[in-house]
Each structure stands twice: as C-alpha cells, then as structure tokens.
Amino acid sequence: MLPLFFLFFVLPTDIQAEEIIKVRLVNYVGDPTKITLEMKGDYVSLDPTLTLIEGVKYALFVDNDHLTLVGGGDTQIIVDSLVLVPRTYNEQHQILVNDRPYLGAIEFKIEQDHIRPINQLPLEDYLKGVVPFEVYPSWGIETLKAQAIAARTYAVTQLKQNIDDTIQFQVYGGFDWKPNTSKAVDETKGEIITYHNKPIEAFYSASNGGKTESNAHVWGGKSISYYPIKDDPYDPTHPWEFVLHKHQLDLESINWDHQQMWESLQEKDKQITTTMKRWLNKNGYVGEIKIISIPTFTVSDNRLNSKRATHGSLTIEFLQQLIEGTVLYNQLTLHNVKLNKIRPIIGGTVFKSYFIESLSETNGVYTMNGNGYGHGVGMSQWGANTMGLKGKPYKDILQFYFPGTEIKHTSELGKQETREGS
C-alpha cells in the first residue's frame, strides 16, 4: 500500500499540513482486468527498474498473479503493485485512468483478480472532485458552500476508512473540477460541522421527500439529536413512480429445442431485471440468469413516524443457465423482511426511497409511488438548493439540517484539544 508520507514530500509547503486522503477508484472503472493509463508531467515509481514515459498510453492488465504493463515498445512485469507519484504536485501533473484524469499519486494493485487503482491526494483537492458530482455546479454559491462543508465533514470522519468513489461514501470524479464548486471549496477551506467540538458524520441525500429521517431508523443504534424527524418545507418532495410486470417471460411459448432459445428470451422490464440478475449473481446464484416472474411484491402497512415503510415481501422466479448449458429453475423468496434487503434487488435509481405512498397491482402490473431520493437523513441537497434560492446563507442551511451543531475550522479543534489536554 502506498505510504501516506510519500506524497507529503512532493506537496508545496503551503498545503503540506493538509490532510491526505486515499480513495479506491471503483465508480468509473468497475472491476477490470485491464485498464489504460497515461501520464501528463513527470512521475516516478517506487520501483527503480520501471520506466514510464510521459504521453504514452499504457495498457495495464492482470496476468495470472501479477500485473503486466505494455506501452512505449516495452512489456514490463509488475511484481507487487505499480505506484506512480508526481515529482511535483500541481494541476499540470495528471494520471489518466481510462482517459479520466486524477491528481496526486495512484497505486495500482490486484484486488480479487482485478485491478484496483487507489488515488492519494490532499483533502481539499479531493473535495473539488466531489462537490460537482454530488450537486449541480450551476446551483447558487451558498448551496455549494453548504455541500462543500458537509462533504468535507464527512470526509474528515472517514480518513481512516477504506473509502471509495461511489455513493457508498461520496461520489468522486477525479480532476474534473468546475469553477463554482471549486470556489465553494476554497471559500470554506477547513470549515467543518461539529457537535461538542467534534466533527459529525455529516449525512446527506438528494431529497427527503418533505420530511427528514432519524439516523436510528436507517442504520440502527441510538438516535442523534442533530438528525431529528421533522417537516422540511424546502424540499421539493420529488414524487416518483415505477412499474414492474408480474410476468416477465412466458414459459409456455418458449421453444426449448430452438438453437438460439436462450438468447431470444427477453424480459419486459430490462432495467429492473438487469439489476435483479446482477444481485442474484453476487449473492451465490451462478450462471446466466433470466427472470421469469415476480409473483409476490408487497410492502407492509406499518410506517415509522417519519412516514417511511420498513418491511416488505418479494418473490422472484428465474432460470439459471450453467456453464455446461444446463438450465435450472430457481426461486428467491423474501417474506416480511426489511426493505433495505429488497430495494437493492430492484435498484436504488428506480426504488428511490422508503417514503412510499402506495404499491398496487392491476392486470399483472405492480405500480409503486413514493417521494424523495435517498435515505433522508441530514441535509437534503434539493432542499439546500431551495434555501439558497431564497437567499439563505450556507450557515443557515447547515443549521436547519444539522440543528444544534456549530461550524468550526479544523485548526480550532486542534487548539481545543490542546487546551483540554493541558
């Protein structure tokens, strides 16, 4: 693993005291066995035997239990991992991974038979690659500042975690900065949200549907005072709807003797069934899968005091084609389970929240209606946008969504700890 201190030596003196963050790159690369990389500027490797040339597009791929680098007329074997560090840290030094640019250092290593790049850079520059991917850069500056501080606060609490660039943590797009979001990061540099002089784990989601949610309802544990359940008059609600056909394939019409039978099977709801099949593969159901039907899809009438649903049932009937060509019938049954076990199977971009207004079945078609997008805990990004449009400064926005907290500079926390320890 690339040591944190290594990048420190190439940083300009004015940012050497800044926190350094490491991010696993997953969102834009997936789980590849081959990637391309190219360098702009002068980079060094921790392996003195490796030679890399600026401007050459290299192919890096997994070859048995090691990495192989091909480009510039050479084929080079990577014994452990490939680490690239800029001789000078600045915006002119970039590493392009599959043509997407990143600042700082990157380690490329084998992770479960595929390549995993790990980007290391100063926290403030990381945030400039986060904010434009979490909200619209065209939003007002006060909203962007609120988002920058929320993102910085969350990042500070995750420095020791094995974070990645997906929505599981914060979406990070590398060196694809936008002027307004970079301005928001710069003008709030070092500011974080605190409670009792400690940074909070600042959660946020796209839309809470008009009512904020308690952290305890989403992740369990003890409810926290700055994550109350309350009406949000600023959130635009964002009503949503999706439909799902109960019967995806007609087994009686299948010609099992036809040579292209399997390829001809096409489900009715491709987006949802693709997500279902991906989930089934990741959870132990091997082979290529075709969804036959969803005979059961219900949501319990029980609601939290935040009006969100908690439990439901789902049954999926499907076919599995194994490597040797054998086709098996199988069924997944989830009865009265927590909805956080069902939502990922259907897909969070479709089943957007647990703020469900209705789920009905008519003529073999399920229709679900709901509000919001995401877990609803903490700041609503769309609500923050509305507050900004109404002239609210960023501190008021953050105080509304994280009541009882304070905005402090990270340097103040250090002084506070020193005073308390003396």
pLDDT digits (tens, 9 = 90+) for 48-63: 888 889 999 999 999 9
> What is the predicted pLDDT for the residue at 360?
97
Task: Give the domain-ending residue among 98, 123, 148.
Answer: 123
Structure-model confidence comparison of residues 170 and 4, the more confident one: 170
Task: Give the domain-ending residue among 96, 123, 150.
Answer: 123
CB atoms within 10 A of CB 11: 19
pLDDT level of residue 396 (50, 70, 90 thresholds): very high
> Does the pLDDT of residue 104 top 50, yes or no?
yes
328 and 359 belong to one structural domain: yes
- Residues 366-382, mean pLDDT to the nearest whole number: 97
> Does the pLDDT of residue 379 top 90, yes or no?
yes
> What is the predicted pLDDT for the residue at 393?
98
Domain count, the chain: 3
Is 246 buried (19+), middle (13-18) or exposed (0-12) by CB count in 10 A?
middle
The Cα 377–Cα 218 span in angstroms is 8
231 and 380 belong to one structural domain: yes
> What is the predicted pLDDT for the residue at 75?
92
CA-based nearest residue to 133, from 376, 381, 373: 381
> Does the pLDDT of residue 415 top 70, yes or no?
no
Q: pLDDT by residue (tens digit) across 174-224?
A: 999 999 999 999 999 999 999 999 999 999 999 999 999 999 999 999 999
Q: With contact defined as beta carbons under 8 Å apart, do 88 and 99 qualify?
A: no
232 and 245 belong to one structural domain: no
Residue numbers of the domain that contains 300:
240-371
Structure-model confidence comparison of residues 120 and 251, the more confident one: 120
CA-based nearest residue to 43, from 112, 81, 96: 96
294 and 395 belong to one structural domain: no
> What is the predicted pLDDT for the residue at 325?
79
pLDDT level of residue 2 (50, 70, 90 thresholds): low
Q: Where are the alpha helices (DSSP H) in 202-326?
A: 215-219, 261-264, 270-282
215 and 260 belong to one structural domain: no
> Does the pLDDT of residue 44 top 60, yes or no?
yes
302 and 367 belong to one structural domain: yes
Which residues, other chains included, contact 348 with Cβ-Cβ below 8 Å and sequence gap of 6+? none
Q: Which residue has the tokens 């089934």?
A: 280
pLDDT level of residue 8 (50, 70, 90 thresholds): low
> Does the pLDDT of residue 16 top 70, yes or no?
no
Task: Give the domain-ending residue among 93, 123, 153.
Answer: 123
199 and 314 belong to one structural domain: no
Q: With contact defined as beta carbons under 8 Å apart, do 69 and 75 qualify?
A: yes
396 and 408 belong to one structural domain: yes
Q: What are the C-alpha distances in Å from 361 to residues 314, 369, 387? A: 13, 12, 38
Q: With contact defined as beta carbons under 8 Å apart, do 62 and 99 qualify?
A: no
pLDDT level of residue 94 (50, 70, 90 thresholds): very high
> Does the pLDDT of residue 421 top 50, yes or no?
no
- Residues 377-392, mean pLDDT to the nearest whole number: 98
Q: What is the CA radius of gyration of the chain?
A: 25
> Does the pLDDT of residue 18 top 80, yes or no?
no
45 and 30 belong to one structural domain: yes
305 and 325 belong to one structural domain: yes
- The two tokens of residue 223 are 């409810």
181 and 277 belong to one structural domain: no
> Does the pLDDT of residue 418 top 80, yes or no?
no
62 and 110 belong to one structural domain: yes
As a whole-number percent, the residues of the chain with pLDDT over 70 amount to: 93
- The two tokens of residue 50 are 């490796």
- Residues 360-379, mean pLDDT to the nearest whole number: 97
> What is the predicted pLDDT for the residue at 212?
97
